[in-house]
Amino acid sequence: MTYSAQSSAKASSLGGVTGRLRAAEDWLDSRGRKAWIAAMVVGFILLWPVGLALVAYMTYANKWSNSMYKGRSFGCRHRHDGMSRHAAWRSSGNTAFDAYKADTLRRLEDEQEAFESFLQRLRDAKDKQEFDAFMEDRAKVAAAPAPAPAQDSPRGEY
């Protein structure tokens, strides 16, 4: 039985509009995220409430994170999700490569720590410079003599 025959069998068993909508959903799921986006764009072009309804359905029915990623175009997504910091330390089976990889990863971590400490020292130096400039300005203001109060001149003289 082909997929379209299975979808039509599902649609007839569920009956009516609900069955057709589920069959359409299954058909879009089998083709992946691009099919859902194309359906949304066509929905906006033909009748904007249809496109808006598709956006709402994809967002609130959790379609983006569940079935839409099962499509063929998202095979690489699952590989990247499994990558973690711990996955980098797994053995590849080749001892020479594993030794090289471990040495490189340690060197990169050391460089990262050194760079982060350099950035921290740079931030501290900038903060100290700003604070010293502030204190110097404050000292200048405090050391400057206060202006003498202006004396009122008698009336008529300027």
Distance CA 68, CA 139 (A): 66
pLDDT in tens, 101-124: 999 999 999 999 999 999 999 999
User: Is residue 36 a contact partner of residue 27, using CB atoms and an 8 Å limit?
Assistant: no
The pLDDT-based confidence of 155 (bands split at 50, 70, 90) is: low
Per the listing, tokens 């009336």 go with 155
Distance CA 113, CA 120 (A): 11
Report the pLDDT value the prediction gives residue 32, as an integer from 0 to 100: 82
Q: What pTM value is reported for the model?
A: 0.34
Q: Is the pLDDT of residue 35 over 80?
A: yes
Name the burial class of residue 83, with classes exposed (0-12), middle (13-18) and buried (19+) by CB atoms within 10 angstroms of its CB.
exposed
- List C-alpha distances in Å: 142 to 50, 59, 132, 137: 70, 62, 15, 9
CA angle 63, 65, 68 (to 5 degrees): 55
Which residues have C-beta within 8 Å of that of residue 26, sequence separation ≥ 6?
7, 10
